[in-house]
Amino acid sequence: MKITKAVIFFLLICAWFNPACNNHSPKNSQPVLKKAQTEPIDSEISQNIKLNQKLDIEEKIQQVNDLKSKLAEKDNKLKSSNSQFEAKFIEIKEAVNTERSKNIVDSVEKARNNKIIGSNLFIMQKILAYQEYIAKELNLVANSQIDLDHLAKNLDIDRIMKNGLGSEEEFQALVTKINNVVAKIQPYANDLVIPDEQVDRIPIELIWQKYFIEEDLKKKRLEDEQKEKARREEQNRLEQEKIDLARQQAESRRLEAEAKIREIERLKQVEVDRRQAEEYKRREEQRRIEQEKADKRKAEEQEKELELQRRTINCDADPNSIIIKNQHLEPKPIFHQSCDKFIWNPKNVKLFLADIQKNENVVTGNDLRAELQNKNNCNVNVSLYLYENQNRIPKEWQGKRIHFWGTIYNIEGQGPGITFLEYNENTKSWEIHLLPLTCHCWTDNDFAALRAD
């Protein structure tokens, strides 16, 4: 209605200022002015009308969507209330049954006269009425939701179509259609639609009959069925006991006869078993002796393997962080001769004495280095192994200094040096030391440990 009044007012203003309506305008100029001015104005008015109508349609469709949300909210509230009524109904029903058990209330007259039961029956009546009320409301809401959803989808499709091709009359018809939908569904979105007087309350007598008398009868039937079932089971049990007793007696006689036969067979078997036992004992003794021999051989082989493992030296072990007699070495040796794994055996090691050491000559380690650097020298890992396993060092090495040229360290402040083993007569043990190659102390008692391979 607002859009129509605005359009009429706008047209009146245009007519007032139109030269074609002015008496002082020349007659021959009237058609030219009308064509020049009225056509653009009519087009602009038409566009404004369509724009306002589209906005009005969008607003109406939003009202439909809001109405759908309101119906959904009402549906949730009704279902929540119904759940609470169901829980309350069960609670009140239990309270009535408790009071019935105390006072033996077995008729509706006694129930009415009992204040606690009577008041609870009235509440149950009211709950049932409300639940029926809610059921009808839920049915209305559900139908309204279906209708509204269906219509909203159709309206949305119509709106899309009319945005491209619709006329003013079609837009107005669509607005009218939406208004009709809102007017139809709006009442169902209110809190309550069905008048209270349209919901009948169930008579107290019917509630008492349905929820107490009939349930009592149902319980009574169930108890009677259970008793009858127990009676039949007891009868079947007694009959089965008689049958089982007869079977047991027959079985007992059969077993006695079989027992006599078995006793004869047993005596025969005893003799057979005695002979077999003697044969078994003989074979077992033979197997035991053979097993002991096999276990002994296996233990000896395992001991040999363990001994081999104990005598295995990993000459490739990392010699980087070895500290000997509190003499700190640089982290990495300047020379390290690896030789994979070396099985310790005094026969696999020979003590080497250079010619320049003989005849009581005294030389430096550097004098020997050139001659020993291409030989199969034992490295520091061998010296550490022997130091930790001194029982494996040959006694004939005592009194000699055994040098291990396979690893050369840089001793702080002293230059290159190697490890050597020396037997201490006071402590009766071998000691490991570092000796700089610059030391002029190599005599005919300083031997290099070489691998025989």
Q: Is residue 349 domain-resident?
A: yes
Tell me the per-residue pLDDT of 115-158, one tens digit each, with 9 for 90 and over: 887 788 888 888 888 888 788 888 888 887 787 777 777 767 76
* Whether residues 194 and 337 fall in one domain: no
Q: Is the pLDDT confidence value at 414 over 90?
A: no
| End-of-domain residue from the set 202, 230, 250 | 202
- Lowest mean pLDDT, pick from 3-7, 247-251, 323-327, 382-386: 3-7
Task: With cut-offs at 50, 70 and 90, classify the pLDDT of residue 421.
Answer: very high
Task: With cut-offs at 50, 70 and 90, classify the pLDDT of residue 285.
Answer: very high
CA dist 275 → 262, 272, 283, 288 (Å) = 20, 5, 13, 20
* Whether residues 169 and 22 fall in one domain: yes
Q: Is residue 303 domain-resident?
A: no
The whole-number pLDDT of residue 364 equals 92
Tell me the per-residue pLDDT of 146-189, one tens digit each, with 9 for 90 and over: 877 777 777 677 666 666 555 556 556 656 666 666 666 556 55
* Whether residues 336 and 198 fall in one domain: no
Q: Is the pLDDT confidence value at 363 over 90?
A: yes
Q: Is residue 326 domain-resident?
A: yes
Task: With cut-offs at 50, 70 and 90, classify the pLDDT of residue 397.
Answer: very high
Q: Is residue 291 domain-resident?
A: no
For helices 2-16 and 30-103, what crossing angle results, to 10°? 170
The whole-number pLDDT of residue 10 equals 39
* Whether residues 197 and 329 fall in one domain: no
Give the closest residue to 379 by CA, choosing from 420, 431, 440, 346: 420
The whole-number pLDDT of residue 431 equals 92
d(CA 203, CA 278): 97
The whole-number pLDDT of residue 313 equals 86
- Report the number of distinct structural domains present in the chain: 2
The whole-number pLDDT of residue 33 equals 40
Q: Is the pLDDT confidence value at 287 over 90?
A: yes
Q: Is residue 93 domain-resident?
A: yes
Task: With cut-offs at 50, 70 and 90, classify the pLDDT of residue 21.
Answer: very low
Q: Is residue 304 domain-resident?
A: no
* Whether residues 187 and 67 fall in one domain: yes
| End-of-domain residue from the set 168, 202, 236 | 202
Tell me the per-residue pLDDT of 197-252, one tens digit each, with 9 for 90 and over: 555 677 878 877 777 778 888 888 888 899 999 999 999 999 999 999 999 999 99
- Lowest mean pLDDT, pick from 105-109, 142-146, 164-168, 444-448: 164-168
d(CA 320, CA 330): 8
Q: Is the pLDDT confidence value at 420 over 70?
A: yes
Q: Is residue 279 domain-resident?
A: no
Containing structural domain, residue 162: 2-202
| End-of-domain residue from the set 185, 202, 219 | 202
Q: What is the mean pLDDT of the chain?
A: 78
* Whether residues 198 and 341 fall in one domain: no
Return the percentage of the chain with pLDDT > 90, whole number. Answer: 31
- Lowest mean pLDDT, pick from 41-55, 71-85, 435-449: 41-55
The whole-number pLDDT of residue 268 equals 92
Give the closest residue to 110 by CA, choosing from 96, 90, 123, 92: 96
CA dist 329 → 106, 122, 251, 386, 401 (Å) = 106, 102, 94, 20, 21
Most confidently predicted of 177-186, 277-286, 296-305: 277-286
Q: Is the pLDDT confidence value at 430 over 90?
A: yes
Residue 186, Cβ neighbours under 10 Å: how many? 13
